[in-house]
A = this chain, B = another copy of it.
Amino acid sequence: MKYEAERTQLSTYLSGMGLKHTKQRDVILTIFLDSDDHVSAEDLYQRVRKKSPSIGYTTVYRTLKLFVDAGLAQEHRFDDGLTRYENEHAHHDHLVCLDCGKIIEFNSELIEDAQEKVAVEYGFKVLHHRHELYGRCSDCENKSQ
């Protein structure tokens, strides 16, 4: 079964907190895991209602918060003013091409290490971070020359 790890993680969290495992939570989890990286509550609600029209917006909203608490999702606020939820999978950062809009994921041990040094310097405990490089990808750079 797909998403076994996530289901287990949620179940563990639910029983550990004396919370219930409901049909709604199951449906929402499945659709959330199948969605693009950054869904808003509204996005997800629209997808959920196609599959289960009886599920309300509030439940989707509260379930996303639950996922955050359970460590399955991260909340992010972007410049369009919407709160989006990101499926917490292997950490990565982004290169965003301002010409073609392409988004490239990257990972850099060097950056993570340097970041940790900064955190230590300020006595700051980092829980998560966001790092985005905006510019021109190689394709667009070549095209414009």
Chain A residues proximal to chain B, CB less than 8 Å: 75-81, 83, 95, 97-98, 104, 106, 108, 110-111, 113-115, 117-119, 121-138, 141
Contact = CB atoms under 8 A, between A and B. Distances in A.
A141 B125 contact: yes
B119 A95 contact: yes
A134 B141 contact: no
A115 B133 contact: yes
A77 B79 contact: yes
A95 to B, nearest CB: 5
10 contacts: A75-B79, A77-B77, A104-B122, A118-B133, A122-B137, A123-B137, A123-B141, A124-B133, A124-B135, A125-B135
A127 to B, nearest CB: 4
A78 to B, nearest CB: 7
Nearest to A107: B118
A135 to B, nearest CB: 4
A81 to B, nearest CB: 6
A137 B129 CA distance: 14
B110 A135 contact: no
B117 A138 contact: no
